[in-house]
Amino acid sequence: SYIPPLCNPTRVAIVGAGKVGSTLAQRIAERNIADVVLLDVVEGMPQAIALDLTQARGLEHHDCQIIGTNDYADTANSDIVVISAGKPRQPGMSRDELMKTNAKIVLEATKQAIAYSPDAIFIVITNPLDVMTYLTWQASGLPPHRVMGMAGILDSARFQTFIAMELGVSIVDVKGMVLGSHGELMVPLPRYSTVSGIPITELLDAATIDRLIERTRNGGGEIVELMRTGGAYFAPASSTCEMVESILFNQSRLVPAAAYLQGEYGLKDVFIGVPCRLGCRGIESILELNLTDSETTALHISAESVRHNIEFANQLLAAT
Ligand code: TXD
């Protein structure tokens, strides 16, 4: 009789089972991509979410196992570790305090997760994104191509949406390219954003493009303002899911992600959003686009602010 070989199911650990983490678990399971381990410090909560998602299996027709836990041992042998743990900014809490709190959470999560999954690829979601990605890389001791931050793909998705809405064309035909850090200093590139291959600079006037860029820059902020108690999570979860899929299926998708630069774009020792080819080894390569002087300046200003915040985060951590 035929005995099938033992298989080793693909597994994604998600540290931080909040809005983004739990929605990502749902996306991964419903696309039937991998087994998911959801971990959080809150007792019972990740277990409850995992059970709820599992109860939907018969309706969503997927075969993924979803485990909820408070114990890193359950994340063992994950192929990908996603870090979505963090605290939201509380009323009266300064940005500095938030930075320190999230830095500690991310460092702890990285150290614990890497101990059980030394071969994993890390995708960081926690804000401030580029800084937290750097800290994850530092704490993990991994080669830089195995650590990346999710932001550029989300910022580009938002840009794409606003372009499609403005032109009244199908989103399917729109591609956007947004580089730089996640936040005010992101660098949308209209010349490299297209509708069926046609740069949007051929289809929209400068003032309209500026308006769409402004809305993209404020894409997260607009949602925070409406929501009041938290931020976006559907589009962030979809964006991360695309990255997970490209890595696990070795698709080599070309998407902007926060990557460690070693001279590319004239920048060194910083994580910032640039076009990356994502495959089974993580960041397979970084694409260096031809940028105009003003685009290069914008990217360098963005990188300078990330670098400043990395130093600041390290000082805060050293002082505790
Ligand atoms: O583009 C991007 N990168 C982002 C970033 C898009 C959306 C959200 N972005 C950031 O992701 C956001 O600013 C936060 O820093 C994270 C997570 O956002 P989310 O909206 O999911 O926050 P929640 O719902 O507050 O979830 C955070 C969870 C919550 O369940 C906590 O209990 C948990 O993190 N948490 C921890 N888990 C494990 N270990 C520790 N130490 C821990 N501390 C808190």
Q: Is the pLDDT of residue 317 over 90?
A: no
Q: Is the pLDDT of residue 28 over 70?
A: yes
pLDDT band at 5; cut points 50, 70, 90: low
Q: Ligand 1 pocket, 129 CB below 6 A?
A: yes
Q: Ligand 1 pocket, 44 CB below 6 A?
A: no
Q: Ligand 1 pocket, 237 CB below 6 A?
A: no
Using an 8 Å Cβ cutoff, are 37 and 54 in contact? no
Kindly state the tokens that stand for 173.
Answer: 């035909």
Per-residue pLDDT of 61-115, as tens digits, reads 999 999 999 999 999 999 999 999 998 777 777 777 889 999 999 999 999 999 9
pLDDT band at 9; cut points 50, 70, 90: confident
State mean pLDDT over 132-153: 98
Kindly state the tokens that stand for 152.
Answer: 């550029």
Per-residue pLDDT of 39-65, as tens digits, reads 999 999 999 999 999 999 999 999 999
- pLDDT at res. 232: 94
Per-residue pLDDT of 275-312, as tens digits, reads 999 999 999 999 999 999 999 999 999 999 999 999 99
Among this protein's residues, is 300 annotated catalytic?
A: no
Q: CA torsion sign, 141 to 269 to 107 to 221?
A: negative
- Cα dihedral 118, 309, 222, 46, rounded to 10, equals 30
Give residue 194 CA to ligand 1 midpoint distance, Å: 32
Q: Is the pLDDT of residue 2 over 90?
A: no
State mean pLDDT over 136-140: 97
Q: What is the 3-state secondary structure (H, E, C) of the chain?
A: CCCCCCCCCCEEEEECCCHHHHHHHHHHHHCCCCEEEEECCCCCHHHHHHHHHHHCHHHHCCCCCEEEECCHHHHCCCCEEEECCCCCCCCCCCHHHHHHHHHHHHHHHHHHHHHHCCCCEEEECCCCHHHHHHHHHHHHCCCHHHEEECCHHHHHHHHHHHHHHHHCCCHHHEECCEEECCCCCEEECHHHCEECCEEHHHCCCHHHHHHHHHHHHCHHHHHHHHHCCCCCCHHHHHHHHHHHHHHHCCCCEEEEEEEEEECHHHCEEEEEEEEEEEECCEEEEECCCCCCHHHHHHHHHHHHHHHHHHHHHHHHHHCC
Per-residue pLDDT of 251-283, as tens digits, reads 999 999 999 999 999 999 999 999 999 999 999
Catalytic-labelled residue, pool 62, 145, 182, 308: 182
Q: Is the pLDDT of residue 6 over 80?
A: no
Quote the ipTM score.
0.99
Place of tokens 């998708």: 253
Q: Ligand 1 pocket, 148 CB below 6 A?
A: no
pTM of the complete model: 0.97
Give the span between the Cα atoms of 207 and 32, in whole angstroms.
Answer: 43
- pLDDT at res. 58: 93
Give residue 88 CA to ligand 1 midpoint distance, Å: 7
**Strands 11-15 and 80-83, sheet pairing:** parallel
- pLDDT at res. 34: 96
Per-residue pLDDT of 181-232, as tens digits, reads 999 999 999 999 999 999 999 999 999 999 999 999 999 999 999 988 889 9
pLDDT band at 137; cut points 50, 70, 90: very high
Residue 155: closest CA among 302, 36, 261 = 302
